[in-house]
Structure 1
Amino acid sequence: MKQQIKVVHFGICEMIMFVAVEGTVYDCDSQVKPRVLLWFDNGKEDRSFTLRLTDVQYDSEGRCRFQGGFYCFLDRIFWSTREANLPFTLHMDLICGGDRQKQVEFHLDHRDIIQRWNQYEVKVIGRNGFSFSPLHMEESMWERLRIRLKRARTHGLLLVGGIISLPWGIVELLASLFGIVLFEGKRRKVYEKKADRMPLTFSDRLFDKYNRILRRLKKAMLRIAYYGLCKFPKKEKSVAFVSQRNTSLEGNFKFVYNELKAKHPDVKVRPFLNTKTVERMTYRDIADFCKACAFSQVVLVDEYVPSMYTIKLKKSTKLIQLWHACGAFKTFGFSRIGRPGAPTQASKAHRNYDYVAVSSSNVRLWYAQGFGLPMRAIKATGVPRTDVFSDPDYAAQVRKEFYEQYPHLREKKILLFAPTFRGNGKESAYYPMEQFLPGKVYEALGGEYAILIKQHPFVREKMMIPETYKDHILDMSSFPEINDLLFVSDLVITDYSSLIFEASLLNLPMLFYVYDLVEYTRDRDFYFDFGPTVPGKKVFTQEELIQAIKEQDFEQEKVKPFAETYFDHLDGKSTERVVELIMEQL
């Protein structure tokens, strides 16, 4: 890959660094978008960011010209505060299609370097990097006093919060004995209004203020309980399963739990499966959460768990993320910095994981970037819940149970419609129902296919199904395991859902109904070039969708190579490898 990159601006003002580049990639396909990665490394921890490209242009001679920039807070790059004062380096990688060039050379005019009130000594390393050495400034007596007063105030607030919340805890505990959650109806109504950006009444605003105070008090109690329980010795090997997404062991958790019970019965399992946010937690919930985390050597999570950021786990406790999705498709987390709904660089979200289990070495880079973690934390063990795709007995059992429940579908082909959500997150998630009219699709296909609809869990609104078609168009959004629906499906229609990774393991034909591809790419973007990479045909209207199904035009030859790229292991032993990783920490 031939390229030229020029750093047109490089500046540091106090702790903020800004870099702007322009470059050219030669012999570049117009469907391929170049990506410039900024790599920071202090010898103990590394971290990458994707430089935001603001202008990408292609010409008739196969050249791609681009411009972009990025800024960050240098004191917030690395997670460990103990290593904040270590010297570190910065270099750039260039990715274009399947090619990746590490530590690319760049042109820099030293007159383009701006430094004001700088706390770092910056040097250019050859033609492919920068080195940063923090300038150690002596801490004044007043600064030391300020830090001590801040710590004293924090401890004082924790103590006062605990005393104030004790009477409330007694009232709440008594109410919970009768199955009553205080003010839950009002809380849900206020949350829904805020999510829909509706105006709040005076009583709503008053309750919202009360709810914030309650949240702070309960966070204080949670910290006190956790740090207190940590004083007790851990007498046995123990693993905690912590989820605020499900109330039962599902997905990866279920497979790992069963494997631990079967092969390591001496390991105590401590589940905390509770969908309540901190302010909704009862004092019993707080006690259960703290016991699970304080008495376990390993804590497993399967999603973003807000309560995990209220406490700081002991060094001896390892936090392992068993992320619910396979592969790396649309950008998430810190890869979206600068886009709507993205976390700030100062956010603690996801950055406290010790290890993350992923499906392939080809996605380690993107998970490290999305979670703000060093590469060494990302382990390509495989995803436990995909082991069922190597188990023919499990597949046969799923089909048997499905057709026992829906015997009238035996003579039909099954079309699974499973789109992802639109919006910036859980509170604003939606899908524009007018884009897919299941009754119209069913009629246009002559009743050959039964249609199963599986909305993303974030989408609250149900898709309207005409009464006439209720027997052959089923809303399966509440179905617990989407993988099981793949075993009975003959065709998958999706858009930007990570379901495509699991579907590829069964070599299922797929259609990508992407009516808003330009807007979605602009707002969310992908880790790879969507057009050349997705394992199926792209359609942009409902009419094109129906026509492709009628003509059986699925471009299915793309599916097998896609699966081989995004899964290192196709042996059905991912759960075993994850359990081995867990046992190494005990």
Structure 2
Amino acid sequence: MRKIVIGIATFLLAALYALCSLLPQRQCIVCISRQSDSAPIDFRLIKDYCERRDPAWEVIILPKQLRNPTTYLLEMIRQVYYIATSRAVVLDSYCIVVSLLHDRIRVPVIQIWHSLGNMKRFGYTAFGTDEGHSEATARLMHMHEGYDAIATSSLSFADEFAAAFNAEPAKLFEAPLPRVDLLLDEQHRARQREAILAAYPQLRGRDTIVYCPTFRKQPAANEAEAAGALVDAVDFDRFNFVYKPHPVSKQVIDDPRIVTIPGGQFDALFVADVIISDYSTVIYEAGLLDIPVYLYAYDWATYREKRGLTIDFENDVPALFTDDPDAIIKAIEDKEFDAEAYRVFENANVTLPENASCTETICEVIIRAATPCKKKS
């Protein structure tokens, strides 16, 4: 039954795409995301660069999370129209339309993914894990098929990254995400920090610990208990505690002593003096910001079984890795963190371009692919 439904959906999408392909193409790049309902910062930076470039390129951003299948069908129709009338497609996540029309799309499709660094198995390398997709469904949906180029923040893990997309390593190109430019821009960092402090004045006067756990498809049984224990371990006379939830996480930490700063207008990382995470690629962003990192592995025994990993957190990451919240807070208080060792780890996962910004690097790859617009073989 599932195969029949997917076959019908593919036929209808293909018919709509063929119809829309009769319309004129514009010098336009369409960026599609399922990560949020607002334009991701990476796409906003791509848009700003391309529209200021000479010659300029129009950039259309289509962000939409898949919450309601009925309303998402309308979004898929919109996606088909822009894919058919643009000269390149850029994705930061899995796109149903692109995958189902993988062999019909006549313009280049560039996948930039939404995470920095190499850490977890996903896509084709996550089959058989609790956090991964069903292999049968993924293959029926042609998941991650149809990409002409795939950005990665470092070619040091090219084989693992290519395997996740079931793609040839030759399709990969080294280009960290555009938002890395903002992390490296001291003036931007200072402006963002001040904006956050203006919005949350209670954070002034003390160092701020930012807690940003990864998303878990199946929350750990001890999630609430572990979060409460971590908050209780903090000396609030010395530190602020900010919770930065994952964009698609439903976890809430209900404690009047903490400040929750969700994604959107502000990125809590810019106000952080210390970061506590677990198995999140946020640890690479922290490295770019030169902020000490501590790893709270309260569900390590079960998480490593549910979620395939590509690095050994206990030995590869030069940061305290423990399920003991008191040990983490003591290490923070004593400033126990090897910044030099962490810098080496960071450089192995994020290779910065030498003669251009990250935004320029990734945009020029996209524009070269779209100029001239060549049909796929």
Query: For this structure pair, what is the TM-score category when the shorter chain's length is used for normalisation?
Result: 0.7 to 0.9
Instruction: Please give the alpha-carbon distance, in whole angstroms, between the structure 2 residues aligned to 1:279 and 1:306.
Output: 12
Q: What is the aligned partner in structure 1 of residue 373 from structure 2?
A: none
| Match of residue 297 from structure 2 | 514
Correspondence for 1:307 among 73, 97, 102: 97
* 3-state secondary structure, aligned to 2:32: strand
Instruction: Confirm or deny: 8 A CA contact 1:429 1:459 kept in the other structure.
Output: no
Residue 529 (1) aligns with residue 323 (2) = no
Cα distance, 1:284 vs structure 2: 5.4
Deviation sequence 1:65-115 (CA, Å, 0-9, x none): xxxxxxxxxxxxxxxxxxxxxxxxxxxxxxxxxxxxxxxxxxxxxxxxxxx
The residue number in structure 2 matching 1:225 is 16
Alpha-carbon distance, 1:350 to partner: 1.4
Q: TM-score, normalised by structure 2?
A: 0.87
Query: Residues 336 and 393 of structure 1: is their aligned pair in 2 closer, same or farther, counting only changes over 3 Å?
Result: same
- Pair 1:364-2:158 in alignment: yes
More displaced 10-residue stretch of structure 1: 346-355 or 320-329: 346-355
The runs of at least 4 consecutive aligned structure 1 residues that moved more than 6 Å come to 212-218
Aligned pairs for 1:542-557 within 5 A = 542-557=325-340
Cα displacement (A) at 1:453: 0.6
Of the three residues 197, 213, 217, the one matched with 1:403 is 197
Name which of structure 1's ranges 555-564 and 401-410 shifts more when overlaid on structure 2. Answer: 555-564
Q: Displacement, 1:253? A: 0.7
Question: How far did 1:370 drift?
Answer: 0.9
Q: Check conservation: 1:218, 1:278, Cα contact below 8 A.
A: no
Tell me by how many angstroms 1:412 deviates: 1.1
> Following TM superposition, by how much is the alpha carbon of 1:570 offset from its aligned partner in structure 2, in angstroms?
5.9
Shift of 1:429: 5.0
> Which residue of 436, 441, 448 corresponds with 2:233?
441
Structure 2: give runs of 5+ residues left out of the alignment: 371-377
1:257 aligns with 2:47: yes
Shift of 1:560: 1.2
Paired position in structure 2 for 1:539: 322
Task: Report the alpha carbon displacement of residue 232 of structure 1 after superposing the two structures with TM.
Answer: 3.6
Moved more, 267-276 or 576-585: 267-276
Which residue of structure 1 aligns with residue 368 of structure 2?
Answer: 584
- Match of 1:290, SS state, is helix
Q: What's the % identity of the aligned pairs?
A: 24
SS of the residue corresponding to residue 271 of structure 1 reads strand
1:58-207 aligned at under 5 Å gives the runs: none
Q: Name the SS of the counterpart of 1:281 in structure 2.
A: helix
SS in 2 for 1:415: strand
AA matched with 2:347: E
2:186 corresponds, among 380, 392, 408, to: 392
| Whole-angstrom distance in 2 between the partners of 1:504 and 1:251 | 19
Q: Which residue of 1 aligns with 2:359?
A: 575
Match for residue 259 of structure 2 among 441, 452, 474: 474
SS of structure 1 residue aligned to 2:135 = coil
Show the counterpart of 1:351: 145
More strand by share: 1
Change (3 A) 1:301 1:481: farther
Aligned partner of 1:494 among 266, 273, 277: 277
Counterpart of 1:487 in 2: which secondary structure?
helix
Query: Does 370-379 or 348-357 show the bigger shift?
Result: 348-357
Q: Distance in 2 between matches of 1:283 and 1:360?
A: 35
1:463 maps to what in 2? 253
Contact 2:211 2:275 in 1 (8 A): yes
Out of 374, 383, 388, the residue aligned to residue 168 of structure 2 is 374
Would you tell me which structure has more helix in proportion to its own residues?
A: 2
Query: Given that residues 239 and 299 in structure 1 are in contact (C-alpha distance below 8 angstroms), is that contact kept between their aligned partners in structure 2?
Result: yes
Structure 1: how far apart are the matches of 2:167 and 2:4? 32
The 2-side partners of 1:331 and 1:342 are apart by 11
Please report how far the alpha carbon of residue 379 of structure 1 lies from its aligned counterpart in structure 2 after TM superposition.
0.7
Q: Is the 8 A contact 1:507 1:559 kept in 2?
A: no
Report the CA distance between 1:337 and its aligned residue.
Answer: 3.2
Residue among 55, 65, 83 paired with 1:275: 65
Structure 1, residues 456-485: CA drift from partner, whole Å, max 9, x if none? 2232131121x3x2xxx1112x32277x32
In the alignment, the residues of structure 2 paired with residue 257 and residue 419 of structure 1 have an alpha-carbon distance, to the nearest angstrom, of 29
Q: Distance in 1 between matches of 2:79 and 2:306?
A: 36
Matching of residue 413 in structure 1 with residue 210 in structure 2? no
Partner residue, 2:375:
none
Could you tell me which residue of structure 1 aligns to residue 32 of structure 2?
242
How many residue pairs are counted as aligned between the two chains?
363
Give the 3 Å change call, closer, same or farther, for CA 421–246 of structure 1 in structure 2: closer
Report the Cα offset of residue 353 of structure 1. Answer: 1.5
Q: Is the Cα contact below 8 Å between 2:275 and 2:292 reproduced in 1?
A: yes
Match of 1:579, as an amino acid? C
- Deviation, 1:415, is 0.2
Matched to 2:260, the amino acid is D
| CA apart distance, 1:214 | 9.2
Residues 1:332 and 2:122 are matched in the alignment: yes
Ranked by relative contact order (alpha carbons within 8 Å, sequence separation 6 or more), the top structure is 2
Bigger radius of gyration: 1
Instruction: Specify the alignment match of 1:156 in structure 2.
Output: none
Q: Deviations over 1:537-558 (max 9, x none)?
A: 1122222223322332233342
Evaluate the alpha carbon distance shift between residue 405 and residue 270 of structure 1 in structure 2; reply closer, same or farther with a 3 A threshold.
Answer: closer
Q: C-alpha offsets along residues 366-385 of structure 1, whole Å, 9 cap, x if unaligned?
A: 21011111001111022211
SS at structure 1 position matched to 2:359: helix
**AA in 2 matched with 1:573:** S
CA contact (8 A) 2:353 2:361 kept: no
Structure 2 residue matching 1:512: 3-state secondary structure: strand
The residue type paired with residue 332 of structure 1 is F
* 1:125-179 deviations in Å (ceiling 9; x for gaps): xxxxxxxxxxxxxxxxxxxxxxxxxxxxxxxxxxxxxxxxxxxxxxxxxxxxxxx
Aligned-pair Cα RMSD in Å: 2.8
Question: Is the 1:252–1:322 contact (alpha carbons within 8 Å) kept by the matching residues of 2?
Answer: no
C-alpha separation between the residues in 1 aligned to 2:46 and 2:106? 21
